[in-house]
Structure 1
Amino acid sequence: MSPIGVQLQIEDGHVVINNGIVEVTISNPEGIVTGIRYNGLDNVLEILNNESDRGYWDVVWSALDGSGKTGLFEVIKGTSFKVIAESEELVEISFSRPWDPSLKGKLAPLNIDKRFILVRGCSGFYTYAIYEHLGSQEWQAFSLAETRVAFKLRKDKFHYMAVSDDRRRYMPLPDDRSPGRGQPLAYPEAVLLADPVEPEFKGEVDDKYQYTCENRNLMVHGWISNDPPTGFWQITPSDEFRTGGPLKQNLCSHVGPTCLAVFVGAHYAGDDLVPKFGQGEAWKKVFGPVFIYLNSVMDGEDPLTLWDDAKTQMMIEVKSWPYSFPASEDFPKSNQRGNICGKLLVRDRFVQDNDMPTNGAYVGLAQPGEVGSWQRECKDYQFWTKTDENGVFSITNIRTGNYNIYAWVPGFIGDYRNDDAITITAGCDINVGTLVYEPPRSGPTLWDIGIPDRSAAEFFVPDPNPQYVNKLFLDQPQNNFRQYGLWEQYGELYPEGDLIFTIGDSDYSKDWFYAQVPRRKKDKSYEGTTWQIKFKLENVQQTATYTLRIALAGASLAELQVRVNDRNKVRPLFTTGLIGRDNAIPRHGIHGLYWLYTVEVLGSLLVKEEEGDNIFYFTQPRSQSPFQAIMYDYIRLEGPKSDVPN
């Protein structure tokens, strides 16, 4: 342990906590982190910024009482300071902001208690917060579009960013995005660097959405300074307090240099992931703790190795979860939580006669709800794991309460949910035994397109327009979808007619565009598109019913209409209606929220091989914007229901 114990110094306007490794200065009573001293740097935060714009918790909220107060951004500023715990081993301090009806319309209707913890010998500090909406009729209805912790680092020092092994690089400066140096593109977050300070970045696109991560991969990210060699990292050791489950995508680090911990956000999902609270609805949630980790290397050593050290520290934090040291009774310790285990099999008699062990399936606990409701759940806690090669799973350290077990299996469509709620109590160890998921299936597979994995990544993603590149991704085919402007290339590939995919001849990795987007016309307006799937059937049972399964990886203010063998039929056989607000395409996502549809096709609508081709027409007619579009996950045509084996 460090020979220096943790010290707390309370001054007029500021509180300072110091353990001899890192010193953190926080405004009193607001609870804004104004300074972090480390490794010879008086402050790693941006000293050119106002003190309230360096390290802070914030919310974006809207009133739901008809007052018209919407999209309000608020940096959370405490009104009361309190020492929670003080010893040489640990200091925990609180900056709280109560709400009362006199603040209606001015502040988000939440009691918020922000906590900061410094531990002896620790190269960093922890922060968490307790949010509460009281069950009193005086507490107005509202929605919470976003809440997060943000840190603005010194732009003269922190130039190298890492969010994953394949997304780390020296970054442009924030000045490069300013008018005169940067040219805004189709939306303000995307800027073409026309005259950057560093010529090497000229002609690149900078867009913070190119660096977003799914929750399951968003555990450590941050920045490195070469002089002095210093790393600043945000480590999230658990997903339990983040909304939307493992696949929810969030912002993390981006040009600023900015480092975020996002807990609630609508990105890549839309309004479905904005929690809404009724008047007097009681709610309380703990966000965090997250760990702000600082590291350094000796002179002469490569500063970029700090990323590897940060990943090692992340694993240490994960193994330490749930932390034993937070003082709040609202953050239960390990012995106050419960565990479950079991095995998940998948049953599809058209694939295999026996139940199959799942490998890498996602199994989780979330609030009781409908099948698949976990991906839109945004008020409470979720707990997820993956099955091993035998389908065995174990979820530990679950908060007490009632949950459904949810799951999905890569390689199979749809979602599993157990019918009976599971009650987790302190110290429980529940073996739920063998769970069997029967994915939707009516008949044998006649043909399919894609891989059922909730992503459009396996389809054709074009190379970027050379005028709009991020050089980081040029030799990374797995990240090609993150390049700017790919949606415009559909119209270049299909300037007149639309995509035609022929079963047996076409290759979905080359011939199925990653997104069904509107086509740009010569007058720069857009028009809807109709894709065709051509296929032959050796025999057709005229009186039988065939089943078309359509799994979508995302949708944004779009509609999918399906017609069979008559593209001009006024009424489609099936339509989704207007769906989706994930906006994943301009934000360089390869998926948003998952949608699954079943379309029954009467045999009388189909023709057998000697009579010619069958054609499914998939129309996306909405075209007010280039981003009104659909991304497909997987499409399958099943034979008649009568063919289901015993």
Structure 2
Amino acid sequence: MGKLSCNCKNLLPCCMGPPATASSPGGTVDATAGVKVKVSDRYVEIKNDIFELTLSNPDGIVTGVRYNGVDNLMEILNKEDNRGYWDIVWNPPGERTGIFDVIKGTKFCIIYHDENQAEVSFTRTWDPSLEGKAVPLNIDKRFIVLRGSSGFYTYGIYEHKEGWPDFGLGETRVAFKLRKDKFHYMALADNRQRIMPMPDDRLPPRGQQLAYPEAVLLVDPINPALRGDVDDKYQYSCEDQYNNVHGWISSDPPIGFWQITPSDEFRTGGPLKQNLTSHVGPTMLAFTNGEYWKKVHGPVFMYFNSSWDGSDPTMLWEDAKVQMMIEKESWPYSFALSEDFQKTEQRGFVSGRLLVRDRYIDNEELYASGAYVGLALPGEAGSWQRECKGYQFWCRADDDGSFYIRNIVTGNYNLYAWVPGFIGDYKLDATLTIASGDDIYLGDLVYEPPRDGPTIWEIGVPDRSAAEFYVPDPNPNYVNRLYINHPDRFRQYGFWERYAELYPDRDLVYTIGQSNYSTDWFYAQVNRRTDQNTYLPTTWQIKFNLDRVTPNSTYKFRVALASSALAELQVFFNDQNRSVPHFGTALIGRDNAIARQGIHGLYWLFNIDVDSAWLAQGVNTICLKQARSQSPFQGLMYDYLRLEGPCGC
């Protein structure tokens, strides 16, 4: 039997749990020695004959990782509390500026230890004497080491008790800062990996800050091959649905240090939400954003691998991808001992088939092929992309619209979906209560996307992204060479300046039947910079011809936005000079995707009734004005635009 031991008192109920499993789903090395734990006044050391993990006591900061002959993979030049840590950004009610806090435990506990597994806990307990000084949460940081496993797991449990002060939780994450003298090669995807600058390259005089602190031009980097590149951590963002493994590779000795996130369930905002991954430092991040009263964040797996021949770093990357699949198949982990982390037998399953009914496309119901189908806390259709308190569970539907959502934490949910190729959001009217062991089959569900009449014309593809529109070549003075001739060519610095260069005398004019959205529709409606370094709003025009206008009728203009950043869209029909627009959104959005090299943020859909009196037989012009112009980063990204005729016309 394993040993349950604890050196803490009056903790959260953490020192309980079943015996650890004897096998390691993450193990890639056969180690005969068991897991050992050594506790001293300052440190907790856990090793399994493959690596050794050192944590500060009782802070729970990762101060060291010994692996493959290297005494410490963490940045030894940093202070111990700036190597591997959980942090949080929070704010008291009414305050918008976030407070950054590296989470340090005040009590340490061994949850479980035998030769096959060790799980340790570092807790910080809140009480009223800390009001205004610390985030009102009980926080329990856990670390797990398994026998034969080349890496460690970490997860956090946050608890806010009834009656405690309100607060805003902007962000919480776990970050690891690796040795900059060894880790120079970063990998996020098969086509997103490269040798990276050094941290010193981002500082003057080697680096020159650009429009914001994160973006730096490498003027005199230590590696001369990187001279002239722009480095910006946002260029390495990733949608959460693909944010499963990322990390760094050392060439001497050849070692990989990887962060593997096998499930998105604890992340917020759905599968399309973009988050940071790895960036110069070398730093690795796992994010969960939001506010919640009780939630488990993680576990995530920190995986180490090595090879005899370090000449080809992709070998370690390929191995990390294999390990990522092993971790995903092992989810939810059976060995995580917190009662708040539900195991497979405690969870539920939901399945069904989603169809699409659009009688202006087909008289028959269509398969919702590739639909995103998910469960999130109850709310309005589409609320999942702003939801930040609960868990979310998503899958992609098969070609025939069939879906199967696995391993759902018990609770109350709505089922949501959206279908590439169709606008709008689906929501099942019923609230689903998931109990342990449930396997709920919903049968055929039918989504009827917004539609009032036949399509007169359309611009773009309804896929919640601006990627199909025109993305210009970057300014040759501000290039990240990783993204030249790359599918993610939008991840370049300074595109907001290119608009005025491409349209120096007038704004964009798009003519239906003549223009091509892939070459003639700029991917973002941004402000125009003047010679005085101020900014002017821009007004785009859509010109189209109507052979006839049905009198005393209502047309429909649908505008789907892929992103909005402190913008205001005003729409005018054949009368740009009227004092009040025919339609206006007011101020919307805080995505900042323009500045952060994104191609989408939150999705917006506006369905505008168009009085036939606003239209004319012959040539018509719709003006789209983005009215806010205080900065270069205010603007819109369109997803899709469609004009529908009256029903039956």
- For normalisation by structure 2, the TM-score amounts to 0.95
Task: Give the corresponding residue for 1:601.
Answer: 610
- Aligned 1:495-506 pairs, distance under 5 A: 495-506=504-515
Return 5+ residue gaps in structure 1 as ranges.
Answer: 265-273, 278-282
1:235-277 CA-partner distances (Å, limit 9, x unpaired): 000000001000011011000000111111xxxxxxxxx43x7
Q: Does 1:334 align with 2:344?
A: yes
Task: Give the corresponding residue for 1:267.
Answer: none
1:57-106 CA-partner distances (Å, limit 9, x unpaired): 00011001x5x584111000000000000000000000000000101111
2:265 to 231, 240, 247: 240
Q: What RMSD in Å do the two structures reach over aligned CA positions? A: 1.0
Determine helix, strand or coil for the equivalent of 1:536: strand
Q: Does 1:140 align with 2:165?
A: yes
Determine helix, strand or coil for the equivalent of 2:328: helix
Q: Which amino acid aligns with 1:619?
A: K
Q: Which amino acid aligns with 2:469?
A: F
Q: Which amino acid aligns with 2:71?
A: D
Are the equivalent residues in 2 in contact too, given 1:366–1:374 (CA < 8 A)?
yes
Q: Does 1:190 align with 2:199?
A: no
Task: Give the corresponding residue for 1:367.
Answer: 377
Are the equivalent residues in 2 in contact too, given 1:297–1:303 (CA < 8 A)?
no
Q: Does 1:627 align with 2:636?
A: no
Whole-angstrom CA distance in 1 between matches of 2:435 and 2:375? 14
- Aligned 1:53-68 pairs, distance under 5 A: 53-64=82-93, 66=94
Q: Which amino acid aligns with 1:16?
A: E
Whole-angstrom CA distance in 1 between matches of 2:88 and 2:261? 19
Determine helix, strand or coil for the equivalent of 2:469: coil
Q: Which amino acid aligns with 2:46?
A: I
2:134 to 107, 110, 115: 107
Task: Give the corresponding residue for 1:7.
Answer: 36
Task: Give the corresponding residue for 1:77.
Answer: 104
Determine helix, strand or coil for the equivalent of 2:597: coil
Whole-angstrom CA distance in 2 between matches of 1:635 and 1:381? 32
Whole-angstrom CA distance in 1 between matches of 2:342 and 2:362? 44
1:618 to 607, 624, 630: 624
Q: Which amino acid aligns with 2:642?
A: R
Task: Give the corresponding residue for 1:424.
Answer: 434
2:520 to 497, 506, 511: 511
Determine helix, strand or coil for the equivalent of 1:460: coil
Pair 1:452–1:623, CA change in 2 (3 A): same
Are the equivalent residues in 2 in contact too, given 1:385–1:393 (CA < 8 A)?
yes
Whole-angstrom CA distance in 1 between matches of 2:559 and 2:647? 17
Q: Does 1:227 align with 2:233?
A: no
1:317-340 CA-partner distances (Å, limit 9, x unpaired): 000000000110000100000001
Q: CA deviation at 1:416?
A: 0.2
1:268-324 CA-partner distances (Å, limit 9, x unpaired): xxxxxx43x7xxxxx200000000000001136633310010011000000000000
Q: Which amino acid aligns with 1:487?
A: W
Q: Which amino acid aligns with 2:327?
A: E
Q: Does 1:549 align with 2:576?
A: no
Are the equivalent residues in 2 in contact too, given 1:360–1:410 (CA < 8 A)?
yes
Q: Does 1:45 align with 2:45?
A: no
1:18-56 CA-partner distances (Å, limit 9, x unpaired): 000111000000000000001111000000000000000
Whole-angstrom CA distance in 1 between matches of 2:448 and 2:378? 20
1:29 to 41, 46, 58: 58
Determine helix, strand or coil for the equivalent of 2:339: coil
Whole-angstrom CA distance in 1 between matches of 2:489 and 2:212? 20
1:474-516 CA-partner distances (Å, limit 9, x unpaired): 121x211100001101001111210000000000000000000
2:198 to 173, 177, 191: 173
Task: Give the corresponding residue for 2:368.
Answer: 358
Are the equivalent residues in 2 in contact too, given 1:296–1:303 (CA < 8 A)?
no
1:444-475 CA-partner distances (Å, limit 9, x unpaired): 00000000000000000000000000011112
Are the equivalent residues in 1 in contact too, given 2:278–2:285 (CA < 8 A)?
yes
Q: Which amino acid aligns with 2:242?
A: N
Whole-angstrom CA distance in 1 between matches of 2:189 and 2:442? 35
Task: Give the corresponding residue for 2:19.
Answer: none
Q: How many residue pairs align between the two structures? A: 620
1:638 to 624, 632, 644: 644
Whole-angstrom CA distance in 1 between matches of 2:481 and 2:54? 38
- Aligned 1:211-610 pairs, distance under 5 A: 211-264=236-289, 274-275=290-291, 283-299=293-309, 302-476=312-486, 478-609=487-618
Q: Which amino acid aligns with 2:598?
A: G
Whole-angstrom CA distance in 1 between matches of 2:258 and 2:348? 30
Determine helix, strand or coil for the equivalent of 1:465: coil
Return 5+ residue gaps in structure 2 as ranges.
Answer: 1-29
2:230 to 183, 205, 226: 205
1:114-164 CA-partner distances (Å, limit 9, x unpaired): 00000000000000010000012xx11110011000000000000000111
1:379-409 CA-partner distances (Å, limit 9, x unpaired): 1000000100111000111011111000000
Determine helix, strand or coil for the equivalent of 2:546: coil
Determine helix, strand or coil for the equivalent of 2:477: coil
Runs of 4+ with deviation above 3 angstroms: none
Are the equivalent residues in 1 in contact too, given 2:469–2:518 (CA < 8 A)?
yes
Q: CA deviation at 1:351?
A: 0.6
- For normalisation by structure 1, the TM-score amounts to 0.95
